[in-house]
């Protein structure tokens, strides 16, 4: 268990060092949360991949809302 956690932390740090923040926005946090949840269910890699996708999507939505100013469209 300790070795798995150390490997995951090492991998996450390596990814943070090589990926720009614009591409990974929300992905790292989502992958960590999804990986932990997936590990509990026996599907850690699938959980990490899904968590990355969801985290990235939410980060993009949050950016779009903050840039749009929250004004209703069509009026």
Residue 9: pLDDT over 80: no
Query: For residue 22, what pLDDT is reported?
Result: 53
Q: What is the pLDDT of residues 27-70, one digit of tens each?
A: 888 888 888 888 888 888 888 888 888 888 888 888 888 887 55
Decide: pTM greater than 0.85.
no
Q: DSSP string covering the chain, please? A: -HHHHHHHHHHHHHHHHHS-HHHHTTHHHHHHHHHHHHHHHT-HHHHHHHHHHHHHHHHHHHHHHHHHTTPPTT-
């Amino acid at each position: 268990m300790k070795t798995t956690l150390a490997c995951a932390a090492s991998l996450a740090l390596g990814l943070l060092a090589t990926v720009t923040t614009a591409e990974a926005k929300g992905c790292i946090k989502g992958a960590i949360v999804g990986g932990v949840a997936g590990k509990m269910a026996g599907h850690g890699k699938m959980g990490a991949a899904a968590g990355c996708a969801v985290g990235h999507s939410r980060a993009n939505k949050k950016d779009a809302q903050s840039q749009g100013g929250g004004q209703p469209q069509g009026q």
